[in-house]
């Protein structure tokens, strides 16, 4: 199986050979024109976290965090769009357990074998290393709401489109900005904290090479065993990296592993008084999103992240960013679906502080994805096939975006990811004890929870995604 081979190759540092050897024909072969399509329906499977299952296991979650509500985000958008060429779009959930990483493969089976969808969608949270199970092993199209990586895209061929910047591209952008904007002095001794999952390893390889190419010294690299999918062990390893970096004389650290694995590093650095200058490179699920900020430890406050995902805070920390026209439409759809008034900057599940409940924000990835996918299906006509839809997507060279890429993105002939701009944000600390300021904010955050604050670099906020 492709994923087994891919993981083995990662462990032996020959990832590039895998993508080259498996580029054709699996991912590139034509998808069945009839699968997931009847005279009356187009079936789409949405991969969502099984939050209801967690609650049934006795785990305490906010009432709104349910599997059904995650699925409703997708179905509402489909219903608002209406039937496509006489067919109703029906969303069917496939789930994984957020506290059991072995269930990603089960979700793949449920999505592609128990169901036979026209396409699989995921807004965020589904593990990057399990995407190949869908797009390659089971030859099923997927629209992924986060970032992919080069070898996965090559192996998946036309079966995979995504929103986020590829992991390697994010890494190159981080190295380019460090040089062009003098964010890191040439005298710096750099450490790289990455992982051995395909995406983070690929990004780590590119970052290391590009930093050296730009004249920087990479003194030490630590690869956490993120393939083991053991958050406790990963945090032990990331904590141990602090001493490793200190011994190597490192003064600047680039962090590529997710918040579920980097907490140990930040806590150990603070505990030991390590005075590293830290940078996060957004290569992992939900890392530099509003939700990611709410789950990142306070010890990481002040850490910048290079990302395409946006925030509701302003660079001036004195207000809340207004919705663009597309975001306002997404918000209206979201509020109608859940019979509430969403509040910018509030992570999923609401936030309660001092007896006040702040209502969760809209779901930007799902709204952006469906705004692209549904018209592409409609343009394919009555005799709809995935190759037609894929080609229609790639012809969408400019379209609005919610909470990402400076409000717009676009595909291209050789660009199967949507976003086209990145920016630098800094983690800003806030919690339930943070007092509301004169602007109605919490230390510059729209809600009493950590947030990302955009940064002006060289007089501008957004930068084009580097080519290549």
**202 shares a domain with 126:** no
**124 shares a domain with 190:** no
Element (H, E) at 261: helix 259-272
**What pLDDT score was predicted for residue 177?**
86
| 415 lies in some domain | no
Residues with pLDDT less than 50, the chain: 1-32
**What pLDDT score was predicted for residue 23?**
32
For the chain, what is the domain count?
2
What sign for the dihedral angle of Cα 416, 419, 420, 424?
negative
**223 shares a domain with 84:** no
Where are the alpha helices (H) located in 218-324, listed in sequence order? 231-247, 259-272, 290-295
Rounded Cα gap, residues 155 and 189, in angstroms? 36
What sign for the dihedral angle of Cα 154, 158, 162, 164?
positive
Domain boundary among 112, 140, 162: 162
**117 shares a domain with 51:** yes
114-145 residue pLDDT tens: 999 999 999 999 999 899 999 999 999 999 99
**What pLDDT score was predicted for residue 227?**
85
**132 shares a domain with 208:** no
Rounded Cα gap, residues 457 and 104, in angstroms? 39
**What pLDDT score was predicted for residue 333?**
97
CA distances from 243 to 131, 235, 446 (A): 34, 14, 36
**What pLDDT score was predicted for residue 247?**
97
Quick one: which of 373, 419, 323 has its CA closest to 122?
373
Contacts of 21 (CB under 8 A, 6+ apart): none
Strands (E), 7-79: 41-49
**What pLDDT score was predicted for residue 287?**
87
Rounded Cα gap, residues 359 and 337, in angstroms? 14
Instruction: Give the number of C-alpha atoms closer than 13 A to the C-alpha of residue 48, restricted to the C-beta side.
Output: 25
Q: CA dihedral in degrees (53, 54, 56, 61; nearest 10)?
A: -130
| 308 lies in some domain | no
What sign for the dihedral angle of Cα 422, 423, 429, 430?
negative
pTM over 0.85: yes
Rounded Cα gap, residues 346 and 450, in angstroms? 10
Residues 154/27, Cβ–Cβ less than 8 Å: yes
- DSSP string of 415-434, one letter each residue: B-B-B-EEEEEEEE---TTP
84 φ, ψ (degrees, to nearest 5)? -110, 115
| 214 lies in some domain | yes
376-398 residue pLDDT tens: 999 999 999 999 999 999 999 99
Structural domain boundaries enclosing 47: 2-162
**What pLDDT score was predicted for residue 62?**
86
Quick one: which of 449, 282, 235 has its CA closest to 354?
449
**What pLDDT score was predicted for residue 420?**
95
**What pLDDT score was predicted for residue 355?**
92
| 229 lies in some domain | yes
**What pLDDT score was predicted for residue 228?**
81
Task: Tell me the β-bridge partners of 252.
Answer: 190, 277
Quick one: which of 18, 22, 13 has its CA closest to 205?
13
């Amino acid at each position: 199986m492709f994923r087994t081979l891919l993981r083995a190759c990662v462990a032996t540092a020959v990832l590039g050979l895998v993508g080259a050897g498996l580029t054709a024909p699996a991912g590139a072969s034509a998808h069945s024109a009839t699968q997931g399509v009847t005279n009356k329906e187009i079936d789409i499977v949405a991969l969502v976290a099984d939050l209801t299952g967690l609650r049934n296991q006795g785990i305490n979650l906010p009432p709104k965090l349910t599997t059904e509500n995650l699925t409703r985000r997708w179905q509402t958008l489909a219903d608002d769009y209406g039937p496509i060429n006489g067919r109703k779009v029906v969303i069917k959930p496939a789930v994984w357990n957020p506290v059991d990483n072995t269930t990603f493969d089960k979700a793949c089976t449920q999505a592609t074998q128990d169901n036979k969808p026209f396409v699989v969608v995921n807004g965020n949270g589904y593990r990057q290393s399990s995407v190949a199970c869908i797009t390659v092993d089971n030859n099923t199209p997927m629209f992924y709401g986060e970032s992919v990586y080069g070898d996965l895209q090559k192996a998946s061929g036309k079966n995979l489109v995504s929103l986020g910047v590829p992991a390697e591209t994010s890494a190159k952008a981080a190295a380019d900005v460090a040089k062009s904007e003098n964010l890191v002095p040439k005298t710096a001794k750099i450490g790289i904290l990455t992982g051995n999952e395909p995406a983070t390893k690929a990004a780590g390889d590119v970052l290391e090479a590009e930093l050296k190419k730009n004249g920087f010294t990479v003194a030490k690299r630590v690869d956490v065993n993120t393939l083991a999918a053991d958050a406790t062990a990963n945090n032990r390893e990331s904590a141990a990296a602090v001493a490793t970096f200190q011994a190597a004389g490192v003064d600047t650290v680039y962090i590529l592993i997710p918040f579920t694995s980097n907490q140990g590093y930040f806590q150990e650095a603070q505990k030991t008084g390590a005075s590293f200058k830290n940078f996060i490179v957004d290569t992992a699920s939900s890392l530099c999103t509003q939700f990611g900020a709410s789950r990142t430890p306070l010890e990481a406050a002040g850490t910048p992240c290079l990302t395409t995902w946006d925030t509701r805070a302003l660079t001036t920390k004195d207000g809340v960013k207004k919705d663009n026209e597309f975001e306002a439409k997404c918000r209206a759809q979201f509020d109608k679906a859940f019979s509430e008034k969403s509040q910018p900057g509030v992570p999923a599940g609401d936030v309660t502080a001092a007896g006040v409940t702040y209502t969760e924000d809209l779901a930007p990835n799902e709204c952006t994805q469906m705004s692209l996918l549904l018209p592409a299906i409609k343009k394919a006509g009555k005799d709809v096939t995935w190759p037609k839809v894929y080609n229609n997507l790639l012809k969408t060279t400019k379209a609005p975006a919610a909470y990402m890429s400076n409000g717009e993105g676009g595909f291209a002939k050789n660009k199967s990811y949507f976003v086209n701009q990145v920016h630098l944000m800094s983690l800003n600390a806030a919690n339930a004890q943070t007092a509301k300021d004169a602007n109605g904010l919490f230390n510059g955050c729209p809600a009493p929870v950590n947030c990302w604050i955009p940064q002006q670099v060289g007089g501008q906020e957004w930068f084009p995604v580097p080519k290549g």
